[in-house]
Amino acid sequence: MAKPVVAVVGRPNVGKSTIFNRIIGDRLSIVEDKPGITRDRIYGQAEWRDIPFHIIDTGGIEISDEYILKSIRAQAELAIEEADVIVFMVDGKAGITPSDSEVAELLFKSRKPVVLAVNKVDNIKRMDDIYEFYSLGFGDPIAISGAHGLGIGDLLDAVVEHFPEITDDEYDEDVIRVAIIGRPNVGKSSMVNALLGEDRVIVSDQAGTTRDAVDTPFERDGQRYVIIDTAGMRKRGKVYENVEKYSVLRAMKAIERADVVLVVINGEEGIIEQDKHIAGFAHEAGKAAIFVVNKWDVVEKDDKTLHQFSQKIRDHFLFMTYAPILFVSAKTGQRLHKLLPLVNEVAEQHSLRIPTHVLNDVVADAVAINPPPRDKGRRLKINYATQIGVKPPTFVFFVNSPELMHFSYERYLENKIRAAFQFSGTPIRLWMRRKSDQE
């Protein structure tokens, strides 16, 4: 199920990045005392009151003819469009500025829930600074201090109150949900059309012309599927710089709902950093995955090209060696007939359960062949292992001391499990627990 999305918006230099970093507990944003330094939207994940959510840090909004500020305004507009709840940040020391009023007008038009946060209220003596902000029309302002961490809990309480009700996915368990992800113009929409045999989504050579995310149910050879097509830009006709940055959040939301993720790569252009970023999110989310290299028909090639490109994928995506690779052309239909059978295979592996006695036979053989190394005179002892979940397959190892499990030995055990049971196309999770923790 997709997590709620919170966008932090406001004019430059009101402290949005500081608050963002406090909420996610990590310094992902550049924090510098200079207006407009946060150039791009940054995405993070956080949790409050046991509710996980996405959070977007935007560049400041400024009504100006300066190019960089126009760009930042565009970023914020898109963040507003993506968000379920908006945190509107203002500066308690500076008071209401004309730019704040412009931002307020933009937010009113969005018709989204807005929580007004007055930053830089560093002590009780400054509480009177918040009252003028009632005139912005967003109800009770919440006094916070990013520098000192004051009021953040009150702010998040207010934000969570506005979250939409989270409901379970509407599709049956036997439906395979497939997310097609990738940066703009890799051919995602063309691939959907080719699989369905009809033009269900807009296709254009210009990046970002898909108008919205579309769920497309269909059936093939008795198996039901839903394609979750990650759209490009919602608003056609608007031109944003660095358009590929805007597809990240929508890809995240699609991945969360999927069973199988098709990571589409443009065979003509090769691999770029954003491909790794999006694929990494699928891996972290524990989804089954397939690398689909599209536009293979236009690639100049010889008998070594396919192998060399495959090796590049393996080199760039070291964390996803389990994901199969398929070279296709949505335009000509080349190898597309292999895609759905491969989806079926990795979906089955993603849901595979291993009987406990069979798993422990494999683990025992692995330990006999290569016993755990000693650490300061102590040796890891594995009592037994059991599978506790699927999607992805998740295993718990009950051991004498979890801290003795070195990552290299954990990787060895994973490789042995994969060698025995395949688990093609799916990550697997290994957890270590002290033997007494089971009680």
Q: What is the CATH number of domain 176-349?
A: 3.40.50.300
Which amino acid is present at 374? R
Question: Tell me: the pLDDT tens digits for 313-352?
Answer: 999 998 899 999 999 998 888 899 999 999 999 999 999 9
Question: Tell me: the pLDDT tens digits for 35-71?
Answer: 443 444 467 788 898 888 888 887 655 555 666 666 6
Return the pLDDT at 377.
83
Length of the chain: 439
Buried b (16+ CB within 10 A) or exposed e, 25-39: eeeebeeeeebbebe
User: If you write DSSP's letter for every residue of 110-145 in order, what string do you get?
Assistant: HT--EEEEEE---SGGGGGGGGGGGGGSSSS-EE-B
Question: Tell me: the pLDDT tens digits for 370-415?
Answer: 999 888 788 999 999 999 999 999 999 999 999 999 999 999 999 9
Q: How confident is the model at residue 169 (pLDDT cuts 50, 70, 90)?
A: low
The Cα 349–Cα 418 span in angstroms is 11
Domain 5-161 has CATH 3.40.50.970: no
Return the pLDDT at 229.
64
Phi-psi region of 215 (alpha: psi -120 to 50; beta: other; left: phi over 0): beta
CB atoms inside a 10 Å sphere around CB 273? 8
Domain 356-438 has CATH 3.40.1480.10: no
The binding site comprises 10-17, 57-61, 119-122, 182-189, 229-233, 294-297
Instruction: Write down the domain spans for the chain.
Output: 5-161, 176-349, 356-438
Return the pLDDT at 410.
94
Return the pLDDT at 208.
41
Buried b (16+ CB within 10 A) or exposed e, 392-413: bbebbbbbeeeebbeeebeebb
Q: Is the pLDDT of residue 207 over 60?
A: no
Q: Does 176-349 match 5-161 at the fold level?
A: yes
The Cα 338–Cα 254 span in angstroms is 23
The binding site for GTP comprises 10-17, 57-61, 119-122, 182-189, 229-233, 294-297
